[in-house]
Amino acid sequence: MTPAKTGNTIRHFRRFVLTLSLSADEDPIQTIEHTAQLARELNSDVACLCVRDSDLLDYAALPFAREFSVHGALTRPLNADDMRNEMNHRASSIHQILEKLTSDQQRQSTFHIVDGRLVEKAMEAAEENDLLVVTVASRTPGHVGPAYENIRRVVEQTRRDLLMLAGAGAPRTGPVVLLVDEDVPSGRTLRIALHVAQSRQSGLDIFIADDVALSRAVRQRCDEIFTLDDNPAPHLSINSLNRCLSRPWRPHPCSLMVLEFDKGLPSLGFLDQSLRIFQAPLLLLRRHINESPSV
């Protein structure tokens, strides 16, 4: 997608869509904070789609429906009406949080509640919006695990860019990290990463796979892009991706990861490692083939 120009501001994404499951136990505040922050930096609007899990509602309507809690092995009977009310109450809280954060940051926002399956609704929402924000509701923070297949389906079928939040915690200061595994990132990806780094007044750390030619090409591309930009270039550091990934126990916290992919979603292992090491939201950007390498 070609970024639009609004006045003197480049708008890479018109609107983010954040899909949230109303049956998840996680606190949505951090998710909404990350989304709103990035939307402001990229001059985008936010749409929030809360999904009442129809499978869960259907199950809760069954007479023998029971929930097994992981906290203390307790069980409780489920009731569809109660479950629906619980979801609606949660949706109301989410709506309030969304309004507060987006109005503080002067962004437009919309809010909808639907019944259905999260993945399907996410894919439907992706038709109307530019960037899909998904959360990974895993019992193990930083671990994509069972959600990987669903995310892969969404990515392949929607052809949209993705912001993945998997237990990243509250927004923090820190550098923007750009992961380069195989190919030189496109100018679009570099500009987005640069733009966010400048907005956050932080550095840009590029982690490149151990390939001399690739590394050289990335440096050259960075020089070209940064030269064209009117704003001062952020502090740039080039690091070894292989070395970093080989030490998953040495965290390198940052404020945002950016990864460009071509055909398919990167592997589960790669995603897991990256999330564990960098502990930040992951912005997955599709490579646009028709884009001129030097913009």
Interface residues with other proteins (CB under 8 A) are: 23-25, 53-56, 58-59, 61-71, 73, 75, 78, 80, 86, 137, 140, 143, 145, 247-250
Give me the least distance between CB of 44 and other proteins, in Å please.
Answer: 30
> What's at 107, amino acid-wise?
R
Other Cβ atoms closer than 10 A to 14: 17
Give me the least distance between CB of 17 and other proteins, in Å please.
Answer: 22
Give me the least distance between CB of 141 and other proteins, in Å please.
Answer: 11
Minimum CB distance to other proteins smaller for 68 or for 289: 68
- For the stretch 150-153, contacts whose Cβ atoms lie closer than 8 Å and that sit 24 or more positions apart, written own/partner, are 150/118, 150/119, 151/265, 152/264, 152/265, 153/119, 153/123
Minimum CB distance to other proteins smaller for 108 or for 140: 140
**8 Å CB contact between 185 and 221:** yes
Closest of 110, 120, 141 to residue 18, by C-alpha: 110
Minimum CB distance to other proteins smaller for 269 or for 293: 269
Give me the least distance between CB of 109 and other proteins, in Å please.
Answer: 25
Minimum CB distance to other proteins smaller for 142 or for 185: 142
Distance CA 136, CA 172 (A): 19
Minimum CB distance to other proteins smaller for 91 or for 283: 91
Give me the least distance between CB of 65 and other proteins, in Å please.
Answer: 7
**8 Å CB contact between 46 and 155:** no
